[in-house]
Amino acid sequence: MSKFLTAIQPSGLLHLGNYIGAIEPAVESQQENELRMFVVDYHAITVPQKPDELRQNILNATAIYLACGIDPNKTLLFQQSQVPQHTELAWLLNCTVRMSELERMTQYKDKAKARGENVLVGLFDYPVLMAADILLYDTDVVPVGEDQKQHVELARDLAIRFNRDFGETFVVPEPRIKKVGGRIMGLDDPMKKMSKSAGSAKNYISLLDDEETLRKKIMSASTDSEGKVAFDESRPGITNLVTIFSIVAKKSFEQIELDYVGKGYGDFKKDLAEALTLFLMPLQTKIKTYLEHEDELIKILNAGSIRAREEAERKMEIVRKRIGVKL
Ligand code: AQP
Protein backbone atom coordinates (compact mmCIF):
# COMPACT_ATOMS: atom_id res chain seq x y z
CA MET A 1 0.00 0.00 0.00
CA SER A 2 1.52 3.36 -1.06
CA LYS A 3 0.84 6.80 0.36
CA PHE A 4 -0.85 9.11 -2.15
CA LEU A 5 -1.45 12.84 -1.72
CA THR A 6 -3.48 15.35 -3.72
CA ALA A 7 -4.57 18.91 -3.08
CA ILE A 8 -6.44 21.63 -4.94
CA GLN A 9 -6.44 25.39 -4.42
CA PRO A 10 -9.82 26.98 -3.70
CA SER A 11 -8.85 29.86 -5.98
CA GLY A 12 -12.08 29.70 -7.97
CA LEU A 13 -14.56 27.14 -9.22
CA LEU A 14 -12.97 23.76 -9.79
CA HIS A 15 -13.01 22.82 -13.45
CA LEU A 16 -12.97 19.78 -15.67
CA GLY A 17 -9.14 19.89 -15.87
CA ASN A 18 -8.92 19.67 -12.06
CA TYR A 19 -11.34 16.76 -12.12
CA ILE A 20 -9.60 14.82 -14.89
CA GLY A 21 -6.01 15.63 -13.89
CA ALA A 22 -6.31 15.35 -10.11
CA ILE A 23 -9.66 14.37 -8.56
CA GLU A 24 -10.45 11.28 -10.62
CA PRO A 25 -6.97 9.72 -10.14
CA ALA A 26 -7.19 10.52 -6.41
CA VAL A 27 -10.58 8.82 -6.10
CA GLU A 28 -9.19 5.76 -7.90
CA SER A 29 -6.10 5.69 -5.69
CA GLN A 30 -8.07 5.61 -2.44
CA GLN A 31 -9.31 2.08 -3.21
CA GLU A 32 -5.93 0.41 -2.79
CA ASN A 33 -3.76 3.06 -1.14
CA GLU A 34 -3.61 5.48 1.74
CA LEU A 35 -4.75 8.87 0.45
CA ARG A 36 -4.38 12.36 1.91
CA MET A 37 -6.53 14.92 0.11
CA PHE A 38 -6.84 18.53 1.18
CA VAL A 39 -7.92 22.03 0.28
CA VAL A 40 -4.84 24.22 -0.04
CA ASP A 41 -6.29 27.54 1.03
CA TYR A 42 -2.87 29.02 1.86
CA HIS A 43 -1.86 28.37 -1.74
CA ALA A 44 -4.94 30.19 -2.98
CA ILE A 45 -3.92 33.44 -1.24
CA THR A 46 -0.69 33.64 -3.25
CA VAL A 47 -2.89 35.75 -5.52
CA PRO A 48 -5.36 38.12 -3.83
CA GLN A 49 -8.70 36.53 -2.85
CA LYS A 50 -11.87 38.11 -1.48
CA PRO A 51 -12.46 36.61 2.01
CA ASP A 52 -16.15 35.75 1.42
CA GLU A 53 -15.38 34.10 -1.90
CA LEU A 54 -12.42 32.20 -0.46
CA ARG A 55 -14.58 30.82 2.36
CA GLN A 56 -17.23 29.71 -0.14
CA ASN A 57 -14.63 28.18 -2.46
CA ILE A 58 -13.19 26.12 0.43
CA LEU A 59 -16.67 24.71 1.07
CA ASN A 60 -17.28 24.20 -2.67
CA ALA A 61 -14.02 22.28 -3.07
CA THR A 62 -14.85 20.07 -0.09
CA ALA A 63 -18.35 19.36 -1.42
CA ILE A 64 -16.86 18.54 -4.83
CA TYR A 65 -14.32 16.11 -3.37
CA LEU A 66 -17.07 14.30 -1.47
CA ALA A 67 -19.47 14.27 -4.41
CA CYS A 68 -16.74 12.86 -6.66
CA GLY A 69 -16.28 9.95 -4.29
CA ILE A 70 -13.64 10.93 -1.75
CA ASP A 71 -14.58 8.94 1.34
CA PRO A 72 -13.52 10.66 4.59
CA ASN A 73 -13.62 7.29 6.37
CA LYS A 74 -10.88 5.98 4.08
CA THR A 75 -9.09 9.18 3.15
CA LEU A 76 -7.58 11.85 5.36
CA LEU A 77 -9.57 14.87 4.12
CA PHE A 78 -8.62 18.25 5.61
CA GLN A 79 -7.95 21.96 5.26
CA GLN A 80 -4.33 23.07 4.90
CA SER A 81 -4.60 26.24 7.03
CA GLN A 82 -5.77 24.17 10.01
CA VAL A 83 -2.44 22.35 10.07
CA PRO A 84 0.22 24.97 10.93
CA GLN A 85 3.02 22.43 10.47
CA HIS A 86 2.69 23.01 6.70
CA THR A 87 3.82 26.63 6.98
CA GLU A 88 6.42 25.74 9.61
CA LEU A 89 8.04 23.14 7.37
CA ALA A 90 7.80 25.53 4.40
CA TRP A 91 9.90 28.03 6.38
CA LEU A 92 12.54 25.43 7.18
CA LEU A 93 12.66 24.33 3.54
CA ASN A 94 12.92 28.00 2.53
CA CYS A 95 16.23 27.93 4.31
CA THR A 96 17.47 25.12 2.04
CA VAL A 97 16.08 26.15 -1.36
CA ARG A 98 17.97 28.42 -3.78
CA MET A 99 16.37 31.51 -5.33
CA SER A 100 17.52 30.21 -8.74
CA GLU A 101 15.53 26.99 -8.24
CA LEU A 102 12.32 28.97 -7.72
CA GLU A 103 13.07 31.42 -10.51
CA ARG A 104 13.01 28.48 -12.95
CA MET A 105 9.43 27.48 -12.09
CA THR A 106 7.27 27.80 -15.18
CA GLN A 107 4.02 28.40 -13.31
CA TYR A 108 5.60 31.27 -11.36
CA LYS A 109 6.97 32.82 -14.54
CA ASP A 110 3.58 32.58 -16.29
CA LYS A 111 1.59 33.94 -13.36
CA ALA A 112 4.16 36.65 -12.59
CA LYS A 113 4.04 37.80 -16.21
CA ALA A 114 0.26 38.09 -16.02
CA ARG A 115 0.45 40.13 -12.78
CA GLY A 116 3.10 42.63 -13.90
CA GLU A 117 4.39 44.69 -10.95
CA ASN A 118 1.96 43.10 -8.55
CA VAL A 119 3.72 39.80 -7.83
CA LEU A 120 3.53 38.63 -4.23
CA VAL A 121 6.44 36.89 -2.46
CA GLY A 122 3.98 34.08 -1.62
CA LEU A 123 3.52 33.35 -5.33
CA PHE A 124 7.28 32.96 -5.72
CA ASP A 125 7.42 30.70 -2.67
CA TYR A 126 4.35 28.60 -3.59
CA PRO A 127 6.41 25.53 -4.67
CA VAL A 128 8.14 25.40 -1.27
CA LEU A 129 4.82 25.32 0.58
CA MET A 130 3.76 22.58 -1.82
CA ALA A 131 6.96 20.64 -1.07
CA ALA A 132 6.13 20.94 2.65
CA ASP A 133 2.58 19.67 1.99
CA ILE A 134 4.00 16.58 0.31
CA LEU A 135 6.99 15.82 2.55
CA LEU A 136 5.14 16.11 5.87
CA TYR A 137 3.16 12.95 5.19
CA ASP A 138 5.85 10.54 3.87
CA THR A 139 4.13 10.66 0.48
CA ASP A 140 5.16 8.10 -2.13
CA VAL A 141 3.00 9.25 -5.05
CA VAL A 142 1.49 12.60 -6.02
CA PRO A 143 -1.15 12.29 -8.77
CA VAL A 144 -1.07 15.66 -10.54
CA GLY A 145 -1.76 17.35 -13.83
CA GLU A 146 1.23 17.97 -16.11
CA ASP A 147 1.48 21.61 -14.91
CA GLN A 148 2.47 20.54 -11.40
CA LYS A 149 5.21 18.06 -12.40
CA GLN A 150 7.99 20.63 -11.98
CA HIS A 151 6.79 21.43 -8.45
CA VAL A 152 6.81 17.76 -7.43
CA GLU A 153 10.33 17.48 -8.86
CA LEU A 154 11.38 20.37 -6.63
CA ALA A 155 9.88 18.55 -3.63
CA ARG A 156 12.02 15.54 -4.59
CA ASP A 157 15.16 17.69 -4.81
CA LEU A 158 14.47 19.29 -1.42
CA ALA A 159 13.84 15.90 0.21
CA ILE A 160 17.07 14.45 -1.20
CA ARG A 161 19.05 17.53 -0.08
CA PHE A 162 17.57 17.52 3.42
CA ASN A 163 18.23 13.77 3.82
CA ARG A 164 21.83 14.27 2.68
CA ASP A 165 22.49 17.22 5.00
CA PHE A 166 20.56 16.19 8.13
CA GLY A 167 20.06 12.42 7.86
CA GLU A 168 17.28 10.28 6.39
CA THR A 169 14.04 12.16 7.17
CA PHE A 170 11.78 12.46 4.15
CA VAL A 171 10.39 9.98 1.64
CA VAL A 172 11.28 11.09 -1.90
CA PRO A 173 7.91 11.39 -3.71
CA GLU A 174 7.16 10.73 -7.34
CA PRO A 175 4.67 12.56 -9.56
CA ARG A 176 2.08 10.45 -11.36
CA ILE A 177 0.56 12.04 -14.46
CA LYS A 178 -2.24 10.58 -16.54
CA LYS A 179 -1.18 9.73 -20.09
CA VAL A 180 -4.52 11.01 -21.38
CA GLY A 181 -5.94 14.08 -19.65
CA GLY A 182 -2.86 15.20 -17.74
CA ARG A 183 -3.16 18.58 -19.39
CA ILE A 184 -6.66 19.67 -20.42
CA MET A 185 -6.36 22.85 -22.46
CA GLY A 186 -8.37 26.08 -22.36
CA LEU A 187 -11.48 26.03 -24.56
CA ASP A 188 -10.85 29.57 -25.76
CA ASP A 189 -7.10 29.09 -26.20
CA PRO A 190 -5.96 25.48 -26.63
CA MET A 191 -2.32 26.53 -26.41
CA LYS A 192 -2.74 27.25 -22.68
CA LYS A 193 -4.00 24.88 -19.99
CA MET A 194 -7.54 25.13 -18.64
CA SER A 195 -7.26 27.26 -15.51
CA LYS A 196 -9.54 28.56 -12.73
CA SER A 197 -7.95 31.96 -12.85
CA ALA A 198 -8.09 32.34 -16.64
CA GLY A 199 -9.13 35.81 -17.80
CA SER A 200 -12.36 34.56 -19.39
CA ALA A 201 -14.94 32.07 -18.09
CA LYS A 202 -15.02 30.69 -21.67
CA ASN A 203 -11.65 29.11 -20.90
CA TYR A 204 -13.00 26.39 -18.64
CA ILE A 205 -15.93 24.12 -17.90
CA SER A 206 -16.63 24.63 -14.22
CA LEU A 207 -17.91 21.54 -12.45
CA LEU A 208 -20.84 23.77 -11.45
CA ASP A 209 -21.70 25.20 -14.89
CA ASP A 210 -25.36 24.76 -15.79
CA GLU A 211 -26.43 22.93 -18.94
CA GLU A 212 -26.94 26.04 -21.06
CA THR A 213 -23.62 27.61 -20.02
CA LEU A 214 -21.61 24.51 -20.74
CA ARG A 215 -23.35 24.04 -24.10
CA LYS A 216 -22.47 27.62 -25.09
CA LYS A 217 -18.87 27.18 -23.97
CA ILE A 218 -18.43 23.97 -25.97
CA MET A 219 -20.14 25.37 -29.06
CA SER A 220 -17.81 28.39 -29.02
CA ALA A 221 -14.65 26.37 -28.21
CA SER A 222 -11.76 27.19 -30.50
CA THR A 223 -11.00 24.59 -33.21
CA ASP A 224 -9.59 25.06 -36.74
CA SER A 225 -10.75 25.27 -40.33
CA GLU A 226 -10.00 21.66 -41.29
CA GLY A 227 -13.35 20.35 -40.12
CA LYS A 228 -12.21 16.76 -39.47
CA VAL A 229 -12.81 15.31 -35.99
CA ALA A 230 -9.53 13.66 -34.98
CA PHE A 231 -6.92 13.34 -32.26
CA ASP A 232 -4.12 15.15 -34.06
CA GLU A 233 -1.55 16.99 -31.97
CA SER A 234 -0.91 19.49 -34.74
CA ARG A 235 -4.52 20.66 -34.18
CA PRO A 236 -4.70 21.35 -30.42
CA GLY A 237 -8.29 22.67 -30.28
CA ILE A 238 -10.08 19.62 -31.70
CA THR A 239 -7.56 17.28 -30.02
CA ASN A 240 -8.45 18.78 -26.64
CA LEU A 241 -12.18 18.33 -27.29
CA VAL A 242 -11.68 14.74 -28.49
CA THR A 243 -9.67 14.06 -25.31
CA ILE A 244 -12.45 15.44 -23.11
CA PHE A 245 -15.09 13.47 -25.04
CA SER A 246 -13.07 10.29 -24.78
CA ILE A 247 -12.79 10.65 -20.98
CA VAL A 248 -16.36 11.63 -20.16
CA ALA A 249 -18.04 9.26 -22.66
CA LYS A 250 -15.45 6.48 -22.07
CA LYS A 251 -14.82 6.04 -25.82
CA SER A 252 -11.50 5.48 -27.58
CA PHE A 253 -10.07 8.15 -29.89
CA GLU A 254 -10.44 5.71 -32.81
CA GLN A 255 -14.13 5.15 -32.05
CA ILE A 256 -14.77 8.90 -31.86
CA GLU A 257 -12.94 9.51 -35.16
CA LEU A 258 -15.01 6.74 -36.83
CA ASP A 259 -18.28 8.07 -35.42
CA TYR A 260 -17.69 11.49 -37.00
CA VAL A 261 -16.43 10.57 -40.44
CA GLY A 262 -18.26 12.86 -42.87
CA LYS A 263 -19.73 14.97 -40.05
CA GLY A 264 -18.63 18.46 -39.02
CA TYR A 265 -17.49 20.07 -35.78
CA GLY A 266 -21.05 21.27 -35.10
CA ASP A 267 -22.42 17.72 -34.70
CA PHE A 268 -19.43 16.68 -32.65
CA LYS A 269 -19.67 19.66 -30.30
CA LYS A 270 -23.40 19.09 -29.82
CA ASP A 271 -22.73 15.50 -28.78
CA LEU A 272 -19.84 16.54 -26.56
CA ALA A 273 -22.07 19.08 -24.77
CA GLU A 274 -24.64 16.33 -24.27
CA ALA A 275 -22.04 13.88 -22.93
CA LEU A 276 -20.78 16.54 -20.52
CA THR A 277 -24.33 17.27 -19.38
CA LEU A 278 -24.92 13.58 -18.69
CA PHE A 279 -21.68 13.46 -16.77
CA LEU A 280 -21.99 16.70 -14.80
CA MET A 281 -25.68 16.99 -13.90
CA PRO A 282 -25.81 14.00 -11.49
CA LEU A 283 -22.52 15.16 -9.99
CA GLN A 284 -23.94 18.66 -9.47
CA THR A 285 -26.99 17.27 -7.71
CA LYS A 286 -24.66 15.56 -5.22
CA ILE A 287 -22.49 18.67 -4.82
CA LYS A 288 -25.55 20.82 -4.10
CA THR A 289 -26.78 18.37 -1.49
CA TYR A 290 -23.44 18.55 0.31
CA LEU A 291 -23.46 22.36 0.10
CA GLU A 292 -26.87 22.47 1.78
CA HIS A 293 -25.21 21.00 4.87
CA GLU A 294 -22.40 23.46 5.45
CA ASP A 295 -22.01 22.45 9.12
CA GLU A 296 -21.39 18.85 8.08
CA LEU A 297 -18.69 19.93 5.63
CA ILE A 298 -16.97 21.98 8.34
CA LYS A 299 -17.23 19.05 10.76
CA ILE A 300 -15.60 16.69 8.24
CA LEU A 301 -12.77 19.16 7.57
CA ASN A 302 -12.22 19.81 11.28
CA ALA A 303 -12.10 16.10 12.13
CA GLY A 304 -9.63 15.42 9.29
CA SER A 305 -7.52 18.41 10.27
CA ILE A 306 -7.14 17.13 13.85
CA ARG A 307 -5.78 13.83 12.53
CA ALA A 308 -3.55 15.60 10.01
CA ARG A 309 -2.11 17.85 12.75
CA GLU A 310 -1.20 14.81 14.84
CA GLU A 311 0.52 13.12 11.93
CA ALA A 312 2.28 16.30 10.79
CA GLU A 313 3.46 17.07 14.32
CA ARG A 314 5.10 13.64 14.59
CA LYS A 315 7.11 14.44 11.47
CA MET A 316 7.96 17.98 12.63
CA GLU A 317 9.31 16.65 15.94
CA ILE A 318 11.84 14.63 13.95
CA VAL A 319 12.62 17.54 11.63
CA ARG A 320 13.20 19.99 14.50
CA LYS A 321 15.51 17.49 16.16
CA ARG A 322 17.44 16.93 12.93
CA ILE A 323 18.12 20.62 12.33
CA GLY A 324 19.07 21.26 15.95
CA VAL A 325 16.32 23.54 17.27
CA LYS A 326 14.69 20.94 19.53
CA LEU A 327 16.28 21.33 22.97
N1 AQP B 1 -5.85 21.99 -17.20
C2 AQP B 1 -5.55 20.99 -16.38
N3 AQP B 1 -5.49 19.72 -16.85
C4 AQP B 1 -5.19 18.68 -16.01
N5 AQP B 1 -4.94 18.84 -14.69
C6 AQP B 1 -5.00 20.11 -14.20
N7 AQP B 1 -4.83 20.61 -12.97
C8 AQP B 1 -5.00 21.94 -12.97
N9 AQP B 1 -5.30 22.34 -14.22
C10 AQP B 1 -5.31 21.23 -14.99
C11 AQP B 1 -4.50 19.80 -11.80
O12 AQP B 1 -5.45 20.05 -10.79
C13 AQP B 1 -4.79 19.95 -9.52
C14 AQP B 1 -5.12 21.13 -8.69
O15 AQP B 1 -4.54 22.28 -9.24
P16 AQP B 1 -4.46 23.56 -8.33
O17 AQP B 1 -5.79 24.05 -8.02
O18 AQP B 1 -3.63 23.27 -7.15
O19 AQP B 1 -3.65 24.62 -9.11
P20 AQP B 1 -3.33 24.79 -10.61
O21 AQP B 1 -2.56 23.63 -11.10
O22 AQP B 1 -2.65 26.12 -10.73
O23 AQP B 1 -4.78 24.80 -11.26
P24 AQP B 1 -5.57 25.96 -11.91
O25 AQP B 1 -6.94 25.50 -12.16
O26 AQP B 1 -4.83 26.52 -13.08
O27 AQP B 1 -5.66 27.04 -10.76
P28 AQP B 1 -5.21 28.53 -10.78
O29 AQP B 1 -5.77 29.13 -12.01
O30 AQP B 1 -5.75 29.11 -9.52
O31 AQP B 1 -3.70 28.51 -10.79
C32 AQP B 1 -3.30 19.80 -9.80
O33 AQP B 1 -2.94 18.44 -9.71
C34 AQP B 1 -3.18 20.27 -11.20
O35 AQP B 1 -2.07 19.69 -11.86
- Measured in angstroms, how far is the CA atom of residue 145 from the centroid of ligand 1? 7
What lines the ligand 1 site, CB under 6 Å? 8-9, 11-12, 17-18, 20-22, 144-145, 147-148, 182-184, 193-197
Q: What DSSP string describes 178-222?
A: -TTTSSPBPSS-TTSB--TT-SSGGG--BTT--HHHHHHHHHT--
pLDDT beyond 80 at 249: yes
- Measured in angstroms, how far is the CA atom of residue 17 from the centroid of ligand 1? 7
Distance CA 216, CA 193 (A): 19
pLDDT value at position 35?
97
Q: Where are the domains of the chain?
A: 3-183+294-323, 208-288
Q: Which residues contact 189 (CB under 8 A, 6 or more apart)?
A: 203, 222
Mean pLDDT of the 304-313 span = 98
From the number of C-beta atoms within 10 Å of its C-beta (0-12, 13-18, 19+), residue 318 rates as middle
Predicted confidence (pLDDT) per residue in 162-198, tens digit: 999 999 999 999 999 988 889 999 999 999 999 988 8
pTM over 0.75: yes
From the number of C-beta atoms within 10 Å of its C-beta (0-12, 13-18, 19+), residue 310 rates as exposed
Mean pLDDT of the 201-218 span = 96
Residue 130 phi/psi, 5° resolution?
Answer: -65, -40
CA 245 and chain centroid, separation = 20
**Residues across the chain:** 327
Distance CA 79, CA 309 (A): 10
CA 28 and chain centroid, separation = 15
At 138, which amino acid appears? D
pLDDT beyond 90 at 64: yes
Name the class of domain 3-183+294-323: alpha beta
Instruction: State which of 16, 19, 147 you would mutate to test the pocket of ligand 1, scoring each by most atoms of that ligand within 8 A of its C-beta.
Output: 147
Predicted confidence (pLDDT) per residue in 125-145, tens digit: 999 999 999 999 999 999 998
pLDDT value at position 118?
85
> Residue with the nearest Cα to atom 2 of ligand 1?
17
Instruction: State which of 195, 244, 248 you would mutate to test the pocket of ligand 1, scoring each by most atoms of that ligand within 8 A of its C-beta.
Output: 195
- Measured in angstroms, how far is the CA atom of residue 191 from the centroid of ligand 1? 15
Residues taking part in catalysis: 111, 193, 196
> Residue with the nearest Cα to atom 18 of ligand 1?
8
CATH 1.10.240.10 fits 208-288, yes or no: yes
What Cα–Cα distance (Å) separates residue 76 from each residue in 26, 291, 304? Answer: 12, 20, 6
> Residue with the nearest Cα to atom 12 of ligand 1?
18
